Amino acid sequence: MSLLYQQYQEVLKSIPNRIEWGSSELYKERYGQFVFKNIPIKQKFIDHPGFIVSYGEWTIPKEVKVPIDNPQNTFKLMFELEGYSCFTDSKAKQQIEVPQDCFNLIYVPKAKGYLKYKTNRKVVEVIFDEAYFTQLVQDKLPVLLPFIELIKKRKTGTLFSQAKVISIEMHQLLLMILQNDIHPDLKQVYLETKIIELLLLSVQESLERVVTPLENVKSMSDADKLLHIKTWIDNHFLQEITFSMLSQRFYINEYKLKKYFKKYYHSSLIRYIRDLRFEYAYQLLASQKFSVNKVAELLHYEYPQHFTIAFKKKFNKAPSVLIQKKKSLT
């Protein structure tokens, strides 16, 4: 039994009213509600011998600071889907910040300090057993060996100095991990495969950004800037995108951004992003693996019925038709 699993069992004891399902001791899914430092949390856990996947919805009406003194090591791949979190390590005098739509691989030995949250959160965490992760890196992901040295030295650190934006591919992988119809006997292998994919995408994201740093965009022509903007949107269209954010990120004023994007790509920027999102939503629904509510949430719709109206306007059919098509075939 791994140290992670022992610690996890202690956590489960604090969730008295929980639902559990699964086919064996090696694979279980659990759902429960509990309170952490006066913060109500709805949490889903997925067990694997080498890691725990958790998805949490945190109710945080206003900014809060939470003191932390954890005798156990914290080692996780963290995806802040909504909200904001920041850990200040009182020993290492270091801050680890993960804003909305961002992720990082984090290691904190015996965390002592405080956590700061600003608003409601939706977060996915993959909490690793250190021995399992070390073996995984040695066998399949040698590019992450420098991070193993950090763990061996018991030093607080992250894979990236600043959290990276969650890509479209990562969003899709997270959905496939949290919602899938894989046979229970295959779940363990399936989960491990998807977690390895997440780690590979994490490293790839870092390498791609090193090759084309955004600072170089400043000296480009407006036409080249527009090409970079379009490429960036193609890979991050699920993120919250505003004219102001793109203007600052790619060193182009908002007037030129609106005017020349439409000139070069024959579509307004807003319509282009909207079309990308709805084509992606169509693919997810057609895959028969995701509910209308989940896809609406992914596209930042607060109310699923608003997504349904917009979807029907674009495709001349309700999104539920794609779900019902599966039922008619079975």
Distances 97 to 10, 116, 159, 161, 191 between C-alpha atoms, Å: 27, 9, 12, 10, 27
Residue 114 DSSP code:
E
Residue 11 DSSP code:
H
Local confidence band at 22 (pLDDT 50, 70, 90 cut-offs): very low
Mapped onto helix, strand or coil, the DSSP state of residue 298 is helix
Residue 166 DSSP code:
P
Residue-averaged pLDDT of the chain: 83
Tokens standing for 88?
Answer: 């200040």
Quick check: 19 pLDDT over 70?
Answer: no
Burial of 148 from C-beta contacts in 10 A (0-12 / 13-18 / 19+): middle
- Write down the pLDDT at residue 58: 92
Q: Which one, of 199, 139, 203, 198, lies nearest residue 171 by Cα? A: 198
Alpha carbons 96 and 87: distance in angstroms, whole number = 5
In angstroms and rounded to an integer, the radius of gyration of the C-alpha atoms of the chain is: 21
Tokens standing for 289?
Answer: 């693996």
pLDDT in tens, 219-248: 888 888 898 899 888 878 888 889 998 998
- Write down the pLDDT at residue 245: 86
Alpha carbons 62 and 66: distance in angstroms, whole number = 13
pLDDT in tens, 93-115: 789 999 988 899 999 888 888 99
Decide: 163 and 202 in contact? Cβ < 8 Å.
Answer: no
Alpha carbons 256 and 263: distance in angstroms, whole number = 10
SS3 content of the chain, % helix, strand, coil (to 5): 50, 25, 25
Tokens standing for 290?
Answer: 């995701």
Distances 168 to 67, 175, 185, 211, 311 between C-alpha atoms, Å: 34, 11, 28, 20, 20
Q: How many CA atoms lie within 13 A of 98 on its CB side?
A: 26
Indicate the pTM of the whole model: 0.71
pLDDT in tens, 79-98: 998 889 999 988 767 899 99
Distances 162 to 77, 149, 183, 271, 325 between C-alpha atoms, Å: 14, 19, 38, 31, 44
